[in-house]
Structure 1
């Protein structure tokens, strides 16, 4: 079977990792797999990891709303899909999900599937929410089915009447569980946290996420004052890359936090950064169940984060995490202060994390599960042509 995945960007964030792992599983099953990506891309890593994966660039496909570029991306993508003539197109991320599904329908692709990593209308209000909802409902009409990363995403989709007549499946965003459960801190940890040889290891708070607006690094920095004042020796490690790097670095300098906040860039060993940490945090207020949060739990680390759809599948407030209402930065700061100042609470949360059952997130099954869903959707399409 020829399968085409479509991504807005091909960088090194969670949805890209999820998609590449799905591609790997499908390649291992003997299928011909293409990955079409937009302008923001770092394809070298994907090429090294999956040499049999065929990459196609559509430069006009960008995250920002731009009618001329969006039309160009649609036409380019439709042309690519007509040439490839795949049996399945599986879109990911918001912009690629809209443009890609309409292009696939226009190219006559038999099966069009959308992978829901995040719903753009969740957490939005007013005109922006209305526009996002209108776009998603329109694209749902040319979608044969949905695959969500969490039950929370599925429920939010149905609650907002997006694709209610289509099948909705859940394939959790898996990863290599053992890699995180058994990891050790990196040998150069002193350099990473900026500690002299022989000095005690400071308290370490890690955040692994792309440096992009919805991850809220800038807002976090604005609210770190009370934490730094109470724990001046603590170190915040931001691991990840993104287009906000320069702005975040400038904010760190502006606030005089160069000693306390360290930008590590993209890491090939995220499990070692998590193993180095005492607490892990996640500041996004709008996305699905984040892979990094699951990795924190797999490593047995306490987590402080804002509430998100799907967290209830894994996290229990006060048991393996501290969950704060979205947007409550005062509550987030206070939660972080409590956990930093209470070793017994940290130990209890860590114990709860270590005993969390994550078997459903075993990455080895993702490719096979997705292929099974394709087959089910193809069968349903033949039985119920009106859903085609």
Structure 2
């Protein structure tokens, strides 16, 4: 590497998402943008103009400092004009048009490094930029297509880049198996804003603030309600956890209605739903819990092997005991009987038994919670950003 390796002072986080939005990808991007800016980089989040978030302040929504910029690129977005079953073609059109706009920006901002997040923009840039210009482009990988032609195309595009970041070891393993140089792949699991958990209210105060009964055993799930998140199994597990109530934090649209209907059928009157809440409000809701559940399903590879859930690290930081699915993705962080109880995925009876065990054994719950909080203490977003920034400075070559 030449001296230009050390000239990285600007970084575009180029991501095809709604920003702000309700999904974890926006939380991660905002947190990393703030944290990367704290390393001394001049950071811009580069996103498409997307309906319906016009006018919503992303800094206030995500609870982050105004230390990075937000650049919005035009794209042809008709996705939400059609029902979900007809959105595939509009999604492809929006993705490609955003990728072309990102390519045009990359052609005129040659003094900035680029960190990509989605496969379509990756392939547009690797096909549209000169090989010399790709020396300043990197990518962060959160999942991969199923084995086959699409995965091979993504891997071939990633192989053209000098630096790739993955959120867990399984992703790195699969990319190396596709031919990537392991020395150019950094594993950096997701993180947590530890400052938000530094002075949580007591369990009783948190419940009072949320309008929840003070003496009812309480389970909490926080996150989206996609089927692979396993919340259907958690609702079914309520039959094996007598007297307890479940608070579901998050969810929207058809997924929320599906889980709400399931709860009315399987656990009537025992499941409460908040819908989506702003990210800064989540810690106080986690503080209402006796036990937090992370019931990921084994049915999708993104869940079984590739995920690095933000809500996992938030649960660990909350000081509450955790029950999670025994999946390789989660075992990269969790150890059964040490910082969590792990149960077979998609097994409502086993999940219910573990939740009941922790509700009844407060000493065990406290021991697991203390160890989890200790284990997550080094996973602040700023620590992750320092690791990623050092890696990018070492591998990217940016024009002066």
TM over 0.5: yes
Distance in 1 separating the partners of 2:51 and 2:352: 33
Where do 1:225-264 residues align within 5 Å? 225-227=239-241, 231-232=242-243, 234-243=244-253, 244-255=255-266, 257-264=268-275
1:173 aligns with 2:190: yes
Write the deviation string for residues 65-103 of structure 1: whole angstroms up to 9, x where unpaired: 8356414521342134313534333222xxxx2101012
Write the deviation string for residues 226-255 of structure 1: whole angstroms up to 9, x where unpaired: 22xxx22x1211112333223322333344
Higher alpha-carbon deviation: 203-212 or 248-257: 248-257
> 2:388 aligns to what?
370
Distance in 2 separating the partners of 1:69 and 1:270: 30
| Secondary structure of residue in 1 paired with 2:396 | helix
Return the offset for 1:180: 1.6
Write the deviation string for residues 238-283 of structure 1: whole angstroms up to 9, x where unpaired: 1123332233223333445234333353143222122221111112
Correspondence for 2:236 among 210, 218, 222: 222
Q: Return the structure number with greater relative CO, CA threshold 8 A, min gap 6.
A: 2
- The 8 Å contact of residues 39 and 59 in structure 1, kept in 2 or not, is answered as no
Where do 1:69-148 residues align within 5 Å? 69-84=91-106, 85-86=108-109, 87-92=112-117, 97-108=118-129, 109-110=133-134, 111-117=136-142, 119-120=143-144, 129-130=147-148, 133-148=151-166
| Secondary structure of residue in 1 paired with 2:15 | strand
Shift of the 61–218 alpha-carbon distance from structure 1 to 2, 3 Å rule, reads farther
Distance in 2 separating the partners of 1:89 and 1:245: 36
Correspondence for 1:348 among 359, 367, 376: 367
Distance in 2 separating the partners of 1:153 and 1:135: 15
Where do 1:190-229 residues align within 5 Å? 190=208, 192=210, 194-195=212-213, 200-227=214-241
Structure 1 portions without partners, runs of 5+: 122-127, 383-388
Correspondence for 1:322 among 328, 341, 350: 341
Distance in 2 separating the partners of 1:236 and 1:246: 16
- The 8 Å contact of residues 101 and 142 in structure 1, kept in 2 or not, is answered as no
- The 8 Å contact of residues 172 and 185 in structure 2, kept in 1 or not, is answered as yes
Structure 2 portions without partners, runs of 5+: 1-9, 298-302
- The 8 Å contact of residues 283 and 305 in structure 1, kept in 2 or not, is answered as yes
Higher alpha-carbon deviation: 273-282 or 8-17: 8-17
Aligned residues: 360
Distance in 1 separating the partners of 2:335 and 2:45: 39
Return the offset for 1:61: 9.4
Distance in 2 separating the partners of 1:215 and 1:152: 19
Correspondence for 2:317 among 298, 309, 319: 298
Shift of the 193–344 alpha-carbon distance from structure 1 to 2, 3 Å rule, reads farther
Distance in 1 separating the partners of 2:186 and 2:342: 26
Shift of the 26–262 alpha-carbon distance from structure 1 to 2, 3 Å rule, reads closer
Shift of the 165–362 alpha-carbon distance from structure 1 to 2, 3 Å rule, reads closer
Where do 1:140-159 residues align within 5 Å? 140-158=158-176
RMSD: 3.3
> 2:356 aligns to what?
337
Distance in 2 separating the partners of 1:191 and 1:255: 28
- The 8 Å contact of residues 239 and 352 in structure 2, kept in 1 or not, is answered as no
> 2:12 aligns to what?
3
Return the offset for 1:40: 7.4
> 2:292 aligns to what?
280
> 2:283 aligns to what?
271
Return the offset for 1:166: 6.7
- The 8 Å contact of residues 39 and 61 in structure 1, kept in 2 or not, is answered as no
Shift of the 366–151 alpha-carbon distance from structure 1 to 2, 3 Å rule, reads same
Distance in 2 separating the partners of 1:225 and 1:170: 39
> 2:7 aligns to what?
none
Distance in 2 separating the partners of 1:26 and 1:338: 41
